[in-house]
Structure formats: C-alpha cells, structure tokens
C-alpha cells in the first residue's frame, strides 16, 4: 500500500509542482484542486499529474494550449481544439473547458468538442466538476476505451481504472449536455465505491512532485533566512 497524504497536502504539493514545471499560478492552483477532486473519487490523479509534469516543463505554453476555444468575435465554442504544437496539455484544456462550460450552461442542446492529441485526458474531469451544477449540465468524456460521465455529484463510468489511466489519446470527445439525474444514466457506476479521505501516492510520483515543487521555492541563504523570516537567532526571553 502506498503512503497516504492529507488532501490539503496533496493540493499544495500538486500546485507547487505544477508551478515549478512551468504552469501559471492560476492554472497550477486549478490543477491542485482538480487533482484532489479526482482523488476523492478514488482516482490516482496525482500520479497522472506527476507523470505529466516533465512534458509540461519541456513544452512552451503556447505549444501545449488550445490555439483557440471560442469562435472569433463571439461566444460560440469551437468544435475542434488543437494545439499549435504536437500535444495538448490537460491542464490548459481543463481550465478552458471549465470556462466555456459556463458559456454553454442552461442550453437545451448538446455541444460536442473534439480535443486532439491530449495527454492524460482523464485529468480534464477534475477541472469541470465544480462548474457543472452552476451550468446545469453534465459532461461526457470519451477517449480510447473510456466513456466517462462527469456530473456534479461525481465521476461515473463502466470501465476499470486501466481504461482511464491513459497517457495520451489521439482524440478526446467532450459532450456537454443538459443535466440529468445521475441515477437516470445507464453509466451510473461510480469509479470508486466510497469517498476516500486521503490521497495515496506512488513513492515515485511523490518524489517527482517534490522535485518539481522545489522549482517554485527560493533556496535559502544565510541572509534571507535572517531577513526573509524576520526573526533573530537568539532567544532572549
């Protein structure tokens, strides 16, 4: 059994690691929350995120983000999301998808987005989870062998974990559709039978997250230890 960490520790570590790998603070913060949302669904999202970090570090943002997600000059959503480079980052896609879902909210029609060449596609679910209730919709993610329903009560699918733990797919099809009660949906099997209160992390993933998180910190010097924290060395009382 892997060591477990509190959800707060996990969020903090993922956020700092994301920032250390080159995400903006805003995206790194959203990634931290997204990973924890999936972790409490029983998904090894922190391991997925750890595996993603080297490619984030190696690729400029402009090459790994969707070139555009909205039609020019309007609020229409583009059907095809592609990167300028060779792959799409699930953090950038997840952030943008959560943003535009609110634009699509309360619509009676379903909208389909085709996301090309995305890495660790299941991470996207963690970003959209918190906006679904507000948008009165649910999101279906289809990639490889996986067919996942993300509703505001959780993540549901029929497939086993291995189908979700995919490092890259040629296409992720996202369907944003009007909300429906989860018990009315045929794929109403939660991916995890109970709600974990901790996040288990593979030791290798933990080390990798720690290593990237270090990049978001400033090494101490004798001077900064003294002035930066503001305390003196002497206990005079």
5 has which bridge partners?
199
Interacting residue with another protein among 14, 53, 88, 92 (CB under 8 A): 92
Supply the minimum distance, in Å, between the C-beta of residue 221 and another protein: 8
Residue 6: count of CB within 10 angstroms of its CB: 12
> CA quadruple 150, 157, 142, 34: dihedral positive or negative?
positive
Q: With contact defined as beta carbons under 8 Å apart, do 88 and 121 qualify? A: no
End-to-end Cα, the chain, rounded Å: 47
Supply the minimum distance, in Å, between the C-beta of residue 158 and another protein: 28
Report if residue 9 touches another protein, rule: CB under 8 A. yes
Distances (CA, A) of 191 to 47, 154, 167, 186, 195: 16, 9, 18, 14, 10
Report if residue 173 touches another protein, rule: CB under 8 A. no
Q: With contact defined as beta carbons under 8 Å apart, do 148 and 122 qualify? A: yes
Interface region with another protein, contact rule CB under 8 A, candidates 28-36, 107-115, 140-148, 169-177: 28-36
Supply the minimum distance, in Å, between the C-beta of residue 188 and another protein: 24
Q: Which of residues 60-79 bind another protein (CB under 8 A)?
A: 61, 65-66, 68-70, 73, 75
Report if residue 211 touches another protein, rule: CB under 8 A. no
DSSP letter, residue 120: S
Supply the minimum distance, in Å, between the C-beta of residue 93 and another protein: 10
Q: Which residues form the interface with another protein (CB under 8 A)?
A: 4-9, 16, 23-27, 29-30, 33, 61, 65-66, 68-70, 73, 75, 92, 95-96, 98-103, 105, 130-131, 134, 197-198, 214-220, 223-225, 227-233, 235, 237
């Amino acid at each position: 059994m892997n060591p477990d960490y509190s959800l707060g520790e996990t969020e903090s570590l993922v956020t700092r690691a994301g920032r250390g790998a080159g995400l903006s603070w805003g995206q790194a913060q959203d990634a931290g929350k997204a990973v924890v949302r999936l972790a409490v669904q029983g998904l090894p999202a922190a391991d997925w995120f750890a595996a993603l970090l080297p490619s984030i570090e190696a690729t400029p943002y402009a090459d790994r983000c969707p070139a555009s997600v909205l039609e020019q000059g309007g609020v229409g959503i583009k059907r095809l999301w592609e990167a300028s480079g060779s792959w799409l980052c699930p953090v950038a896609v997840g952030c943008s998808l959560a943003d535009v879902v609110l634009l699509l909210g309360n619509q009676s029609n379903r909208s389909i987005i085709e996301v090309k060449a995305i890495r660790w596609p299941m991470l996207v679910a963690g970003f959209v989870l918190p906006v679904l209730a507000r948008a009165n919709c649910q999101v279906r993610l289809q990639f490889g062998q996986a067919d996942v329903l993300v509703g505001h009560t959780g993540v549901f699918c029929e497939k086993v974990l291995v189908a979700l733990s995919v490092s890259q797919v040629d296409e992720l099809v996202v369907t944003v559709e009007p909300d429906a009660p989860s018990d009315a949906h045929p794929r109403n099997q939660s991916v995890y039978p109970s709600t974990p209160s901790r996040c288990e992390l593979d030791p290798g993933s933990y080390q990798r997250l720690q290593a990237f998180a270090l990049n978001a910190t400033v090494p101490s010097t004798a001077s900064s230890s003294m002035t930066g924290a503001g305390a003196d060395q002497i206990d005079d009382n």
